[in-house]
């Protein structure tokens, strides 16, 4: 029976590898996810069968198992099915927090049961599991909170916050080491877990919202590593393989994401620590902006020959992907050349905006990535910015402010710019956007959904 279980685990591990590999390309991505899910189902089912046949599980044990699976499974299913497409990044971060917490608790449970008698090898893996798992648990919760707006998305830094960070990390590592020597008992375990939880919070708090995608991906990779450590503690190979797989592939993915944003991983994590120590360099805060009406904007759009639409988070938040497509269809029917400029992190996570626009059936070939579309702005009559802010802020080209170095769409190179935005409120990075006060920019203050509908109506009236 044990051999069968091991073979099923091996099969599951193979499914995970193949599944991840197939997810490298859009045409095979769905199949990859299905194969991976099948492997997961097989591994879980085989485990349950073995537990049933072993006959050693108590009634209470089964009750706890059933209750846990139904509570967690229902919560996960409900959240995954009902969450708006715009809030998916937060959901992924929450699921990641759950995985990290579970991995940490597996080691906590084993360390509590076996206590100081545990051999050094598993104890070291256990201590690492508790530290990494607790950091990803609290860190992912904060990251999700920042994306949801429950936690301030600005870098939150106070004097000495770096010291607190270092201190918490040192305590977590120190208490973990005591735990490994087998002399600390429950006290060392509790201190390790609490310090690691604290470090997770203090690590993510100073990182600005714009860098959150990379942080979530990094925490995801860390959870994988924690799961692998949990596997070493309880001597379970499928946990080790799957955990290591996610740890490494998640790490690579994190690097790819950071590259897509032209950020080094180091500057995201370490640089984030520094942003608040010096006040952000003054960004020209000229309040004189030119507000335009729907009719003005409609005239500009209807008589343009090239329009580049720049969708941002505001479009995602207002669920206005269908309205933008209707406006684009209308303009195209007049012979206007329309395309969409997709910033790698438009909508908060790489690829998020593509998913949203795909939902609204925007033709794939009209979606252009940043490097492809940037040279075209100079030839565009109108750049229509919908609820985007930081990703088009020309201040990013200058050093010394929170968005410095972030790759941006060269919207300011277009002949004229129309920005649909609810207010002059700040974007994720919490700084002013000098594009808004540029003389060639017209600000159309409206909610993205209503604004686009009114624009489309105005264009219709105009062209009769």
Residue ranges in 378-407 that form contacts with other proteins under rule CB under 8 A: none
Residue number with CB closer to other proteins (200 or 430): 200
Residue number with CB closer to other proteins (229 or 283): 229
* Residues 325 and 358: beta-carbon distance below 8 Å: no
Q: Residue 326 is encoded by which pair of tokens?
A: 């209707």
Active-site pick, 110, 129, 390, 432 = 390
- Residues of this chain, 210-229, that bind other proteins according to CB under 8 A: 213, 216-217, 220-221, 223-224, 227-228
| Bridging pattern class, strands 337-342 and 306-311 | parallel
Please list, in sequence order, all residues whose beta carbon lies within 8 angstroms of the beta carbon of residue 279, skipping any fewer than 6 positions away: none
Q: How far is CA 284 from CA 242, 276, 278, 398, 406, in A?
A: 50, 19, 17, 12, 18
What character string, x for contact with other proteins (CB under 8 A) and - otherwise, covers 225-254?
A: --xx-xxx-xxxxxxxxxxxxxxxxxxxx-
- Residues of this chain, 63-82, that bind other proteins according to CB under 8 A: 64-65, 67-73, 75-77, 79-81
Element (DSSP H or E) covering residue 444: strand 441-445
- Residues of this chain, 22-41, that bind other proteins according to CB under 8 A: 23-27, 29-30, 32-34, 36-37, 40
- Cα 110 to Cα 226: distance, rounded to the nearest angstrom: 14
- Residues of this chain, 163-202, that bind other proteins according to CB under 8 A: none
For the CB of residue 409, give the shortest distance to other proteins in the complex, in Å. Answer: 14
Token pair 């769409």: residue: 409
Q: Indicate the Cα dihedral angle 18, 24, 27, 29, nearest 10°.
A: 60
Q: How many residues bind other proteins (CB under 8 A)?
A: 116
For the CB of residue 455, give the shortest distance to other proteins in the complex, in Å. Answer: 24
Question: Which residues are paired to 382 by β-bridges?
Answer: 307, 416
Residue number with CB closer to other proteins (292 or 338): 338
For the CB of residue 277, give the shortest distance to other proteins in the complex, in Å. Answer: 30
Rounded to the nearest 5°, which phi and psi values hold at 253? Answer: -60, -40
What character string, x for contact with other proteins (CB under 8 A) and - otherwise, covers 413-452?
A: ----------------------------------------
Question: Which residues are paired to 420 by β-bridges?
Answer: 386, 444
Q: How far is CA 392 from CA 6, 89, 254, in A?
A: 52, 21, 23
- Cα 464 to Cα 456: distance, rounded to the nearest angstrom: 12
What character string, x for contact with other proteins (CB under 8 A) and - otherwise, covers 258-297?
A: --x-------------------------------------
Closest-CA residue to 215 (of 97, 312, 128): 97
Name which position in 1, 4, 7, 57 contacts other proteins (CB under 8 A). Answer: 57
For the CB of residue 192, give the shortest distance to other proteins in the complex, in Å. Answer: 15
Residue number with CB closer to other proteins (33 or 293): 33
Residue 40 CB neighbours (<10 A): 16
Q: Measured at the alpha carbon of residue 210, what is the angle toward residues 205 and 216, in degrees to the nearest 5?
A: 65
- Residues of this chain, 1-20, that bind other proteins according to CB under 8 A: 12, 16-17, 19-20
Residue number with CB closer to other proteins (69 or 281): 69
- Residues of this chain, 335-364, that bind other proteins according to CB under 8 A: 344, 349-352, 354-355, 358-359, 361, 363-364
For the CB of residue 269, give the shortest distance to other proteins in the complex, in Å. Answer: 17
Q: Where are the beta strands (DSSP E) in 282-425?
A: 290-291, 306-311, 337-342, 367-369, 382-386, 416-421
Residue number with CB closer to other proteins (85 or 157): 85
DSSP 8-state class, residue 411: G
Residue number with CB closer to other proteins (76 or 405): 76
For the CB of residue 443, give the shortest distance to other proteins in the complex, in Å. Answer: 29
Please list, in sequence order, all residues whose beta carbon lies within 8 angstroms of the beta carbon of residue 339, skipping any fewer than 6 positions away: 307, 308, 309, 366, 367, 368, 373, 376
Closest-CA residue to 446 (of 315, 275, 272): 315
- Residues of this chain, 306-325, that bind other proteins according to CB under 8 A: none
Taken in order 340, 341, 343, 344, the sign of the CA dihedral is positive
- Residues of this chain, 84-113, that bind other proteins according to CB under 8 A: 85, 88-89, 91-92, 94-96, 98-99, 101-103, 105-106, 108-110, 112-113
- Residues of this chain, 109-168, that bind other proteins according to CB under 8 A: 109-110, 112-113, 121, 125
Judge whether 412 counts as a catalytic residue: no
Residues with active-site annotation: 390
């Amino acid at each position: 029976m044990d051999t069968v279980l091991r073979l099923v685990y091996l099969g599951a591990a193979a499914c995970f590898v193949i599944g991840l590999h197939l997810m490298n390309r859009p045409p095979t991505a769905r199949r990859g996810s299905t194969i991976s899910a099948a492997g997961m189902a097989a591994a879980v089912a085989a485990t349950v069968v073995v537990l049933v046949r072993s006959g050693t599980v108590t009634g209470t044990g089964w009750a706890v198992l059933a209750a846990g699976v139904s509570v967690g499974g229902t919560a996960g299913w409900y959240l995954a099915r009902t969450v708006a497409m715009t809030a998916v990044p937060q959901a992924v971060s929450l699921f990641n927090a759950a995985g990290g917490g579970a991995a940490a608790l597996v080691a906590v449970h084993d360390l509590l049961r076996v206590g100081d008698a545990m051999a050094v090898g598993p104890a070291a893996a256990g201590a690492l599991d508790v530290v990494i798992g607790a950091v990803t648990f609290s860190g992912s919760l904060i990251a999700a909170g920042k994306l949801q707006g429950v936690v301030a998305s600005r870098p939150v830094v106070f004097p000495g916050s770096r010291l607190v960070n270092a201190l918490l990390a040192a305590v977590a590592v120190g208490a973990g080491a005591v735990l490994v020597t087998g002399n600390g008992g429950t006290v060392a375990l509790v201190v390790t877990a609490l310090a690691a939880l604290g470090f997770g919070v203090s690590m993510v708090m100073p990182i600005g919202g714009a860098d959150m995608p990379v942080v979530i991906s990094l925490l995801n990779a860390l959870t994988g590593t924690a799961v692998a450590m949990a596997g070493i503690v309880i001597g379970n190979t499928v946990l080790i393989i799957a955990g290591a797989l996610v740890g490494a592939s998640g790490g690579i993915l994190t690097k790819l994401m950071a590259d897509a944003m032209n950020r080094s991983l180091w500057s995201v994590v370490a640089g984030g620590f520094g942003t608040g120590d010096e006040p952000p360099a003054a960004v020209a805060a000229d309040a004189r902006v030119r507000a335009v009406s729907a009719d003005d904007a409609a005239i500009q759009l209807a008589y343009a020959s090239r329009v580049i639409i720049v969708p941002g988070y505001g479009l995602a938040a207002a669920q206005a992907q269908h309205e933008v497509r209707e406006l684009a269809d209308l303009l195209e029917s007049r012979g206007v050349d329309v395309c969409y400029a997709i910033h790698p992190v438009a909508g908060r996570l790489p690829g998020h905006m593509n998913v949203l626009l795909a939902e609204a059936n925007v033709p794939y070939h009209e979606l252009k990535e940043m490097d492809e579309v940037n040279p075209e702005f100079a030839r565009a009559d109108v750049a229509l910015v919908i609820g985007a802010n930081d990703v088009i802020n020309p201040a990013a080209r200058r050093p010394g402010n929170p968005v410095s170095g972030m790759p941006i769409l060269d919207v300011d190179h277009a002949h004229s710019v129309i920005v649909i935005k609810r207010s002059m409120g700040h974007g994720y990075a919490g700084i002013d956007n000098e594009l808004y006060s540029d003389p060639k920019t017209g600000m159309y203050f409206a909610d993205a959904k209503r604004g686009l509908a009114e624009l489309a109506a105005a264009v219709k009236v105009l062209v009769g």
